[in-house]
Amino acid sequence: MNTPNARFDTAIARLDALHAEDPRREIVDGQEVPHELLYAQRMSAWLDQVEPNASDALRLAVRAQHLQRWRVPRADYPQDRPGYLTWRRDLGRIQAEWAAQVLDKVGYEAALCERVAQMIRKEQLRRDPEAQALEDTACLVFLEHYFADFSSEHDEEKLMRILRKTWNKMSPRGHELAVTIPMTAEAQRLVQKALE
């Protein structure tokens, strides 16, 4: 029988194996890394700062948040705001189901599987400190690792909307951590303008 730590480690290994199936690759320090595996690792690293004493459920939800995201392509939905929102909702529901299945197979009880699924679905944001910690973590990963590239692909008006929404999703703790992120001068300018 698995010990609690062994069960957690097995769950992380299984989630990471699924992340590693991502056909998209990124080069990091000269090494090719599956895109979603890298994202999951970045999420876990930021969670250590957001909530150093995170429960196993929160740690698992953070690691599983984008589970096999590439299998539900954005291109399969209308390319407008309602299409985007429908895609995001469907994605959260599907990824929550997949994560719960992985956790069930490694021996987690149904209550923990559902708890992880709730966080991945972003239920009770603002009212659930763990769901909020997951949201803070996702926002910080975006700001540190993806915003600079994202900003080069979109006009300033859209960037202002996205930055303001990102900021509004975060807790005061998320804001404290966000201002510590090193950014390019242009990214800093955009953030400062969005927050004025």
Q: Residue 36 burial (CB < 10 Å; 0-12/13-18/19+)? A: buried
Residues 6+ apart with CB under 8 A from 134: 47, 58, 61, 62, 65, 119, 120, 122
| Mean pLDDT lowest among 14-18, 39-43, 113-117, 149-153 | 149-153
Q: pLDDT band at residue 1, thresholds of 50, 70 and 90?
A: very low
The tokens describing 173, both together, are 């703790």
Share of the chain above pLDDT 90, in %: 77
The tokens describing 36, both together, are 């979603």
Q: pLDDT band at residue 32, thresholds of 50, 70 and 90?
A: very high
Name the residue among 159, 122, 118, 155 with its Cα closest to residue 137.
Answer: 122
Q: Residue 49 burial (CB < 10 Å; 0-12/13-18/19+)? A: middle
DSSP secondary structure code for residue 142 in this structure: I
The tokens describing 189, both together, are 């300018």
Is residue 4 scored above 60 in pLDDT?
no
Q: Radius of gyration of the chain from Cα atoms?
A: 17
